Structure 1
Amino acid sequence: MKRTPTWRRTAVAAVLPLALTGLAACGGEESAEDTSSASAQLEEQGDEDGEEAGGLEAGDPVPDDDFVALMAASFEDATTARTTMTSETAGTTISAEGVVDYTGKTPAMRMTMESAELGDEPIEMILVDNVMYMQVPDLGGKYLSMDLDEPGNPLGPMMTDSMDPSKQAEMMRAGLESVTFVGEEDVDGESLEHYSATLDPSAALEGMQGMEGVPKSMMPEQMQSDTWFDDDGRVRRMVIDMGELGSTEMSMDDWGADVDIEAPPAGQVTTMDDMMGSMSQMS
């Protein structure tokens, strides 16, 4: 039986959970100066809209636009963080940990992923200047580079849309069906505010490049996105339940941490064209 190359299976397995996590971690276009708690920001939003502002209670509904603005505020002034992620998608379980940096023109990320379905060795993924580098065993330790801005890259449009703040805001608004303030909860000894959103994934992803040809039958009817905010209004934990398609859980801690995210040395990088040329010479 012909074995699908590890790099290809890794890329496909990683993209969907990252894209859907990006859907929850959207940014915004307006600057957010408030660093108060999430519920306090919603109360202030109520004042601006001329609505009565009272303390949110567990079970209270939250207007869709207010929640989108809340998510935008969380990431607008974001700097760096350490993150962990566990994803179960299409029969593949991936656990990952690493760091992210939102201070540049485009987000930067360095993560180490492990998956029994994708092999025994860990896989490193680096994202710098919208170029994704993946180091997998099939490449003899080299990094396969994929320019997400390059025309014809099948992964590029999906990944860039998932990291475009304005695009994410549009997608979230399009897919949101309801949002509820669940209440304050103790998470690992810290009091966090929990919000639960129900989305129509087909509606949310309808405008995402690269997803146009995906049949709606392949998507769950609903997607549950639970988000926990800390006292400074920053996202600390997200859990995305995609029904039979799988689930993704991500935590973000140590905001403002010193991180080091750089592209691999040129001598350790190969491209798809290089790979195809080497295969042609061998044949």
Structure 2
Amino acid sequence: MHMRVKGTKTGAIVVSAIMGSVVLSGCGGGGESEAKGSNASPSTSGSDGAPEQSTTEVRAAYDKTAEAESARMTIQMKLSAAGKTITSDGKGVIDLAEGDSVMTLTVQDKSIEQRVVDQVLYQKSPDQKAPGGKPWIKIDLKKVAAQQGMSNQQIGDPAQTAAYAKAITDKDVKKVGTEKIDEVNTTHYKVSVDVSELPGGDQMSKQLGPTLPMQVWLDDEGRLRQQQIDMTVKAPASAKPGNSAPPKQLKMSTVMQFSDFGTEVDAEAPPAGQVADMTDKALQNSQQPS
């Protein structure tokens, strides 16, 4: 899901942040987080050993979800920057072991076909004009992550989710209550991840802040049924002489739901002759002056 917001330098990191969350990296976002549609009453986890138990359950959730191998996924996202907001909704299937996915997105009332295969993002839109008249564009997410000083884990490496689990401690997890998500009983937790404990944490801290708050809803088998991330990404300040403008910010709210575990996923790259490689352009866009 590649959405570039003009006037910011955050286009590339948005891609990596979104893909990280989509492939169950366990990575959240900076900023205050409020549950959407929550009807649970908050509860503290400071007694009866609850903090340790909650932490264990949340830390194990990503591995348990990945063990399902695949799932149907829906995602709702809102990006806000410079007084403008972009909304998108998506639905499709995801391979939880490899990170590949096939989705249909609706962005600002426009339909986009999207595939992720081997950490390469492919998109096709009816009104898209790719170089050479080709219907598909592609962006190599590994290169995008590398420019941002991140490891592949930030764009979705399910085999490395333990790195995120280790960054969650007892004091970072609070059990909120129980709720139904799509008619499934779940337990709702608020989680805070220490960015400095993550691979590439030093670079991430500069743009995301010291902690990554997120919310997760786990089913009775300990699998992730819903995840909410409210992220604030800070764009680097311009180096122009005399520039006193504050760093620009992009706010991103993402809610994902998972269901139908074990469903079939058939993610194949489009024929090479139908694809225009936009990776370099995406990298250039992320380096343009504010």
The TM-score range, normalised by the shorter chain, is 0.5 to 0.7
Aligned residue for 1:121? 110
Whether the 8 Å contact between 2:25 and 2:157 is mirrored in structure 1 is no
Q: Tell me which amino acid in the other structure corresponds to 2:231.
A: M
Aligned residue for 2:158? 165
Aligned residue for 2:229? 240
Aligned residue for 1:145? 138
Whether the 8 Å contact between 1:148 and 1:157 is mirrored in structure 2 is no
Q: Tell me which amino acid in the other structure corresponds to 1:135.
A: K
**Is residue 111 from structure 1 mapped to residue 100 from structure 2 by the alignment?**
no
Q: Deviations over 1:199-231 (max 9, x none)?
A: 34x4355x23xx755663x42554431111222
For residues 43-192 of structure 1, the aligned pairs below 5 Å read 59-60=44-45, 61-63=50-52, 66-67=56-57, 69-91=59-81, 92-103=86-97, 106-116=98-108, 121-136=110-125, 137-139=128-130, 140=133, 142-149=135-142, 154=147, 160-174=153-167, 177-192=171-186
Aligned residue for 2:191? 197
Aligned residue for 1:43? none
Q: Which runs of 5+ in 1 are unaligned?
A: 27-56, 276-283
Aligned residue for 1:39? none
SS in 2 for 1:15: helix
Distance of aligned partners of 1:165 and 1:214 in 2 relative to their CA distance in 1, 3 Å threshold: closer
Q: Deviations over 1:232-275 (max 9, x none)?
A: 22211111123673321000111112332221122212224899
Hey, what's the Cα distance between the residues in 2 that align with 1:238 and 1:152?
A: 22
Query: Quick one: which of 239, 250, 272 aligns to 2:256?
Result: 250
Structure with the higher fraction of residues in helix conformation? 1
Percent same amino acid among aligned pairs? 28
SS in 1 for 2:167: helix
Hey, what's the Cα distance between the residues in 2 that align with 1:249 and 1:93?
A: 12
Q: Which has the higher contact order (CA 8 A, sep 6+)?
A: 2
SS in 1 for 2:17: helix
Q: Deviations over 1:60-101 (max 9, x none)?
A: 343386245422432341222111111223433222211101
Q: Under a length normalisation based on structure 1, what TM-score does the superposition of the two structures give? A: 0.65
Q: Tell me which amino acid in the other structure corresponds to 2:260.
A: D
Whether the 8 Å contact between 1:180 and 1:195 is mirrored in structure 2 is yes
Q: Tell me which amino acid in the other structure corresponds to 2:121.
A: M
Q: Tell me which amino acid in the other structure corresponds to 1:170.
A: A
Whether the 8 Å contact between 2:139 and 2:279 is mirrored in structure 1 is no
Distance of aligned partners of 1:221 and 1:147 in 2 relative to their CA distance in 1, 3 Å threshold: closer
Hey, what's the Cα distance between the residues in 2 that align with 1:169 and 1:152?
A: 19
Distance of aligned partners of 1:65 and 1:58 in 2 relative to their CA distance in 1, 3 Å threshold: closer
Whether the 8 Å contact between 1:150 and 1:156 is mirrored in structure 2 is no
Hey, what's the Cα distance between the residues in 1 that align with 2:180 and 2:5?
A: 43
> Aligned Cα RMSD in Å?
3.9
Whether the 8 Å contact between 2:215 and 2:229 is mirrored in structure 1 is yes
**Is residue 226 from structure 1 mapped to residue 215 from structure 2 by the alignment?**
yes
SS in 2 for 1:262: coil
Q: Tell me which amino acid in the other structure corresponds to 1:17.
A: I
Query: Size of the alignment, in residue pairs?
Result: 232
Distance of aligned partners of 1:69 and 1:185 in 2 relative to their CA distance in 1, 3 Å threshold: same
Distance of aligned partners of 1:81 and 1:135 in 2 relative to their CA distance in 1, 3 Å threshold: same
Whether the 8 Å contact between 1:131 and 1:146 is mirrored in structure 2 is yes
Whether the 8 Å contact between 1:132 and 1:148 is mirrored in structure 2 is yes
Query: Which piece of structure 1 moves more, 73-82 or 167-176?
Result: 167-176
Distance of aligned partners of 1:111 and 1:90 in 2 relative to their CA distance in 1, 3 Å threshold: same
Q: Which runs of 5+ in 2 are unaligned?
A: 29-41, 233-249, 282-290
Hey, what's the Cα distance between the residues in 1 that align with 2:148 and 2:136?
A: 16
Hey, what's the Cα distance between the residues in 2 that align with 1:9 and 1:124?
A: 23
Hey, what's the Cα distance between the residues in 1 that align with 2:231 and 2:144?
A: 30
Whether the 8 Å contact between 1:184 and 1:191 is mirrored in structure 2 is yes
